[in-house]
Amino acid sequence: MEQKVEFNIMEVANRLSSLPPTVRLAVIAGMTALTVQIIRWLVWYRSFFRFFNQLPGETDFSWVWGNLRKMRSYTPDQRIRYILEYSKKYPKFFRLWLGPLKPSIFLHHPDTMKTLLKSSEPKSPGYRFALPWLGEGLLVANGPRWYRSRRLLTPAFHFDILKPYNTISNRAADVLLDKMSVHAVEKTSMEIYSSVSLCTLDVILQCAMSYKDDIQLKGESHPYVQAVMQLTDMWSERGRNPLFLLDFIYFLSSRGRKFKAHCDFAHSVADNVIKARKERLEKEGPPKKRHLDFLDILLTARDESGKGFTPLEIRSEVDTFMFEGHDTTASAIAWTLYSLAQHQHCQQKVQEELDSVLAGRQSDDIEWEDLQKLEYLTQVIKEGMRLHCTVPFIGRQLTKPMTIEDVTLPAGTWCSLNIIGLHHNPLVWSDPETFDPDRFHPDNIKDKDIYAFVPFSAGPRNCIGQHFALNEQKVIIGRILRKFLLTVDPKHKIQRKIAAVMRPDTGLRLLLTPRPAAV
């Protein structure tokens, strides 16, 4: 073997010597430069690896998968437990290698999260996996593009615009309650997550786009809802596979082609919504009787130079708001209903509050003026979003060094705002695995760090639609509890999974009993 290597080296040397002097010098110079670059990279990587590997975190390392090797064999629920285990083991932050070249720092304590939350640092490169679907809408965009869109779209969530949405949420709740009544009469359990998803999609389409299409009556599994579920699953799955980091490899695979097909379908739905609005505007002119909505502002907004959104930008924002405006809210509502079904005393307190606030009404509608009076329901919703974290992770990438716990992370570092870890951190929340709405009572929450509870993120990149989402949750959850008693189906086992949002892997099944007082 050694003789063969020696022969090869000699052969290379002989061939080099036979080249013209200028060519020989160029080849030698190129080979030397390449060797120097490789050595420099190896020296840099050694230092880079040592720096990040000495931080607290997983020790099982693979030169292909980084620290993801074990997680690949886990069920979705086991992955959640894995992250929570490390969040408790290292209560301020920990490191995971996402492949051999990409360490990610998971932050899950107010002390380590607040600096990043207060900044406008860009989303991490993992969000680019959603570009074929969401484009550079508010969720994915960074820098000047994000700032311009955020500034132009903020008026869409003004108090005066949100107020009429309350009626739409009540009417959408009517349809959902009718579907639930069938199960109550038949005394059969109901898979609540899919029906709630249809309801919240109905609400966002009507509120943000003034688009009504009997979404909830077209079946338990609307194709758009199913497409979104598939897209978020594949987005999360791709982030766990370093082999799919490169687009040209991913989109040659069967998973990549399927992802693209779902993107095309989601775009077609968004295009239909935009087309219907443009045709309506051409026919009727600007809105006179109906409320001003998000799509009105999207189509008419102009920056200081008089420039509006391009057609592609409009579609990207519609795709973004159709996804974020229904999927995250559906998760929050469904998990909160599940928690209330598990804790009958909390459910009863909500119902007593609703009976008091709505006393003497002929209608069970929850009016705009009622929202602030539903104080205990608000505590329940917040506790539901803490325990069953709606958006478990938000990724950012540092553009400049940042110091946390006396460790200075270099520019370029990927950081994960580990919201689920924060909301389950025993240093932040006592008995964090217990559902206890009283922890959000004003007397109990007043001394908490404001960054201890961030279901909608915080700082300049917080959720633009958080007030809309909270109002919608109060209406839909309140309307359901006004009419039904909820209990958990004992035959159904709940398994969680994270696919951009927290979802049940096998659905959420509840038993419904009509409330005598609400008949």
What residues form the annotated binding site for heme? Answer: 463
From residue 105, alpha-carbon distances to 116, 397, 433 in Å are 12, 10, 24
CB distance 79 to 87 below 8 Å: no
Distances (CA, A) of 236 to 95, 180, 212, 232, 334: 19, 32, 31, 6, 21
CA distance linking residue 298 with residue 208, whole number of Å: 10
Which stretches within 54-121 are classed as H helix? Answer: 69-72, 76-89, 110-118
Residues belonging to the binding site are: 463
3-state secondary structure of 468: helix
Residues 6 or more apart in contact with residue 301 via CB below 8 angstroms = 152, 153, 155, 308, 309
Helix pair angle (311-342, 466-483), 10° resolution: 40
Give the pair of three-digit tokens for residue 370. Answer: 């009622």
Q: What is the largest CA-CA distance in the chain?
A: 102
Asked if 402 and 115 touch (Cβ cutoff 8 Å), the reply is yes
Which residues are bridge partners to 402 per DSSP?
409
Task: Please state, in angstroms and rounded to a whole number, the distance separating the CA atoms of residues 172 and 201.
Answer: 10
DSSP assignment of 122-180, as one string?
PBPGGGGGGHHHHTTSTTT--HHHHHHHHHHHGGGG-HHHHTTHHHHHHHHHHHHHHHH
Token representation of residue 168: 């739409």
Question: How would you classify residue 25: left for phi > 0, otherwise alpha for psi between -120 and 50, otherwise beta?
Answer: alpha
Distance of CA 433 to the CA centre of its chain: 21
Burial 394-431 (b: 16+ CB within 10 A, else e): bbbbbeeebebeebebeeebbbbbbbbbbbbbeebbee
